[in-house]
Structure 1
Amino acid sequence: MSVFASLAICKVAKDAAGVAGNIFAFGLFVSPIPTFRRIIRNGSTEMFSGLPYIYSLMNCLICMWYGTPLISHDNILVTTVNSIGAVFQFVYIILFMMSAEKEKKVKMLAWLMGVLGIFAIILIGSLQIDDIVMRRLFVGILSCASLISMFASPLFIIKLVIQTKSVEFMPFYLSLSTFLMSTSFLVYGLLSDDIFIYVPNGIGTILGMTQLILYFYYESKSRRMDAEEPVEVRYNQLLLPARYGPKLELAMLLFGSIIGAITVASLRVTRSCNREELQIFFVLFDGVNKKIYAKISFTFLGKEVICPVGHQDMNLWRVSAHLSSQPLVAALPPPFGSLLPGAEAWGHAEALVSNVSYSSNEERGVRKWIELGSEAISTAFPLWVTIGCVLGLLRPSSFNWVTPKLCTVGLGVIMLGMGMSLTLDDLRSALFMPKEVISGFVLQYSVMPISAFLVSKLLNLPSHYAAGLILVGCCPGGTASNIVTYLARGNVALSVIMTAASTLSAVIMTPFLTAKLAGKYVAVDAAGLLMSTLQVVLLPVLAGAFLVKYFQPFVKFISPLMPPMAVATAAMLSGNAIAQSSSSILMSSGQVILASCLLHASGFFFGYILARMLGLDVSSSRTISIEVGMQNAALGVVLATNHFGDPLTTVPCAVSSVCHSIFGSILAGIWRFSVPAEIKD
């Protein structure tokens, strides 16, 4: 490889790392939003510290100045990320001051004025240095120090976590985003040989990893401690419309006491609950008018809580303790059958109480650490995919061992693991979700083709690049979307059905849409697509669901290993796809990269937004977003090679595999720790 080619590869890799750092930094900048929602809702800053935002503002201002052409060369990505960060930090500081106590408010204002004053001195002072090398050295040392101080600021929170043995005041997304951003800019600094970038970000990588380890350790520990704490439940009050009179109120009060006694007795037997999951409520519904007539509050760990009322059977009296997924039902005689109008609308009362107790010595050994490691690896999914992509671009020979047969086997094993997370009933119910499947199919073959056409026109792409981009948009969803859905806690059964439907229909839809939008007819191998779908998607998933039904001990044993295997396979497939087309990607212009990013960003965004507008739940909307945004780019490369005369037509297809892999992995990393309500229930 020539020196010029090596330099070109390093330049592309450095820019890729910088772009990834900007993306992850945006996640870092928005990660405090849940914290500030809580602060604004409670009207108090509680035990949260404002120092991280002060340090972050100082860091962003100095590093923004360091990245400008007046200080250093070719560091525009450093300037962009820190400019955006400075705006975010300033807004957070203002919001923090609005909700803080007077003493905290005065301190925050003093710190803010101090930061702005120091930055003004640095800016004016550095411009007085005529020697550009000395100017860079001066600002570089300051930026390095400010970066280290920013990465060190969570040490206050780390100390609090260790002291309280609780992760309540260490937001997970803040730790994750810090780790991913600092790792990306560590690579960026190494490739640009800038000591003022790679040294502080190397420290940030280590501290970010430390925060993640502490988070997983203390979160699991706090759950175990909560599970062992006793629960006190007492009947407190009953609210009824006046028209029912005191006799009915007294009768219901007595009945409620009976139900409450049963609940308390059952809880004393089990002595197990999770602080986050405990929901106990006593509600009277009118089966005709669907109105709430009664409510119960309870005492939990010394705090009185008015219970939230979820969607329940409208014809039941119910006292529920949702402590596990295995309820014990105790039926009681029908209450007050003659006291309410429309008595036939009321069923019997029942107490639902878990009979599963927690053993303090159960499953705390090697398996617990395996699960912890599995979760940590899966959390860093975007990082592994990015590493695979960069390695495939810089060292394509690293993936010479990856054969088509190995890819097929790897995908089959992962799909088998996904099947183990499902049951045959899940797959059967997915088949009977016509609204979700049809919505996904329509969005798959409308959002992406139209977006590809509009982006190619908007950027005025050359005809060969435009044809390749449109071809990618007209391809079906890729099997990698199933892996991403699995890691993002989406509806895996729906994802499998959608992938199969879009792949099989690609025999007609891909040639038709490509001919209409790109003016070129492409033939698709129907038999090959059918065999591939059966071999890689449907049969392994069905086999996994079969194992769940008949071999549950084996499934329980192997299930913690499946997420890391899925992550490794996705990183391998992404890196291999890029390695196969590395020369084409390096030939591509920034215009093609921008076009591919816009195409897939549109797919993910509009796939989710339109699915929600159609009334689909969060889990299904996530699944459709991933299915729409991730295309079968490998099929696009094959079709472009076989049916288009210009070899440059394959370039957008190759670049597409990079874009959707990175975007999809980022979404999976974000959504993995935001479980939809329908999955929780």
Structure 2
Amino acid sequence: MLESLKVLDELRLNFSQSGLFILNLTLAFIMFGVALEIKFEHFKKVILNPVSTLVGVFSQFFLLPLITFLIAILLRHYITPTIALGMILVASCPGGNISNFMSSLARGNVALSVSLTAIATLSAIFMTPLNFSLWGGLFTEIYSRTDASGLVRPLEIDVGQMFQTVFILLGIPLVLGMWFNHRFPDLTKKIVVPIKRLSIVFFMGMVVMAFMNNFDYFKAHIKYIFLLVFIHNAVALTTGYSIASLFRRNATDRKTISIETGIQNSGLGLVLLFNPKIFPPDLAIGGMAFITAWWGIWHILSGLGIAGLWGRKRKRVVTIQ
């Protein structure tokens, strides 16, 4: 497994300036669509009923990165450092753009889901660079001390540039989307669903664009990537549900917090990875990119699966009653 994953590390997945611009524009469009459902009232609800929101934020930005770091440490003899850093990068990103839809499908607390999306998107401007720098740096330090091969150039990235990029890609579309919703509420109601659907198509396009020149490598090593992402995603979903249960949240809130923790904005991770100002072109990031991209596909499948299961279970209960 380790030797197979090392092959991925050596792949160079560089983008041209025009390709990077398209990636950035796609993510900005996706985040604009997310922001169309966010209203100022959601922030008021957080203040009036903060417990579930705080539990969700704690699960997403504190527990998930910490647990991911521990998984990476446990598996460090079986995976490459860049695979581990890819897992940490995904865990450092905010919730994914389709988590609200999945919460609705699961018959969870949609208002809580939207509130968590709003808070997570704003928090990610600071928390994504902070978490990746903290846990990624700690992992590389421990790995270099315990592994004879060490780790060349452990984390030579520009954290300031990462902060700036996240702010531009998340902060600006968030403000514009909320303003558009406030200024044109009727038009927003008409376009929000089509934009959601387009967002999924555009995200899939991002993944295809990233790997169309390396698809043979991806196909050859998918079994290992699949296994790691499957475990990581299952742990994320379980973490959200468990911490919500620990704080005695109701069933709808537990489902929502689980989904918000298990559905990550891996598109942001891809955009950050392919930005040469953050990750230098000569830095081996193949493993990180493959993990991040497959996360983006798998969490849609797993999220829809568990949301559909929860939704059908609730329907049967209601019918029996």
Equivalent in the alignment of 2:150: none
CA contact (8 A) 1:449 1:474 kept: yes
* Match 2:302 to one of 642, 663, 676: 663
SS state at 1:461 partner: coil
Matched, 1:466 2:84: yes
Whether the 8 Å contact between 2:56 and 2:116 is mirrored in structure 1 is no
The answer to whether the 8 A contact 2:95-2:117 is kept is: no
Distance apart, 1:482 and its partner CA? 4.5
Q: Measure, in 2, the Cα distance between the counterparts of 1:482 and 1:609.
A: 20
Residues 633, 403 of structure 1: alpha-carbon distance in 2 compared, 3 angstrom cutoff:
closer
Give the conservation status (yes or no) of the 8 Å contact 1:430–1:497. Answer: no
Aligned CA RMSD, in angstroms, stands at 3.6
Distance (whole Å) between structure 2 residues aligned to residue 464 and residue 424 of structure 1:
39
Q: Residue 178 of structure 2 corresponds to which residue in structure 1?
A: 541
1:643-676 deviation line (CA, Å, top 9, x unaligned): 583233322222222222222233344455648x
Contact 2:94-2:120 at 8 Å conserved across structures:
no
1:441 and 2:71 correspond? no
Amino acid of the structure 2 residue aligned with 1:440: G
Residues 414-493 of structure 1: matches in 2 within 5 Å?
414-416=34-36, 418-419=37-38, 424-456=40-72, 457-458=74-75, 460-485=78-103, 488=106, 490=110, 491=112, 492-493=114-115
CA distance in 2, matches of 1:507, 1:431: 26
How many residues were matched structurally? Answer: 267
Q: Pairwise mapping of residues 308-323 of structure 1 onto structure 2 (< 5 A)?
A: none
Shift of 1:638: 4.8
Q: Distance in 2 between matches of 1:638 and 1:569?
A: 15
Matched, 1:608 2:246: no
1:516 to 138, 145, 150: 138
Distance of aligned partners of 1:668 and 1:572 in 2 relative to their CA distance in 1, 3 Å threshold = farther
Q: Distance in 1 between matches of 2:23 and 2:60?
A: 29
Larger relative contact order (Cα-Cα within 8 Å, sequence gap ≥ 6): 2
Alpha-carbon distance change, 633 to 585 in structure 1, aligned in 2, over 3 angstroms: farther
- The equivalent residue for 1:654 is 293
**1:580-639 Cα distance to aligned partner (Å, 9 max, x none):** 235263353422220111101110122122112212233433332222112232343455
Supply the AA of the counterpart residue of 1:645: L
Does residue 405 (structure 1) correspond to residue 25 (structure 2)? The answer is: yes
The answer to whether the 8 A contact 2:125-2:171 is kept is no
Are 1:485 and 1:668, in contact at CA under 8 Å, matched by a contact in 2? yes
Q: Does 1:567 align with 2:178?
A: no
Structure number with greater Rg is 1
| Alignment-derived partner of residue 596 in structure 1 | 229
Question: Aligned to 1:585, what secondary structure does the other structure show?
Answer: helix
**Unmatched tracts of structure 1, length 5 or more:** 1-398
2:127 counterpart residue number: 505
Q: Which residue does 2:168 correspond to in 1? A: 531
| 1:581 alignment partner AA | F
Structure with bigger helix share is 2
Distance 1:498 1:448, change over 3 A: same
Q: Is the contact between residue 33 and residue 199 of structure 2 (CA under 8 Å) also seen in structure 1?
A: no
One-letter amino acid of the counterpart of residue 529, structure 1: V
Cα distance in 2, alignment partners of residues 622 and 545 from structure 1: 29
AA in 2 matched with 1:618: A
Letter of the 2:265 counterpart:
N
Q: C-alpha separation between the residues in 2 aligned to 1:555 and 1:465?
A: 40
Would the aligned equivalents of 1:412 and 1:540 in 2 still touch at CA under 8 Å? yes
Verify the 8 A CA contact 2:86 2:292 in the aligned structure 1.
yes
Q: Note if contact 1:469-1:653 (Cα within 8 Å) is conserved in structure 2.
A: yes
Q: CA separation in 1, counterparts of 2:272 and 2:41?
A: 37
Q: Is the 8 A contact 1:487 1:668 kept in 2?
A: yes
Mapped contact 1:479–1:537 kept (Cα < 8 A): no
Contact 1:424 1:542 in 2 (8 A): no
Contact conserved, 1:485 with 1:495, CA < 8 A, in 2?
Answer: no
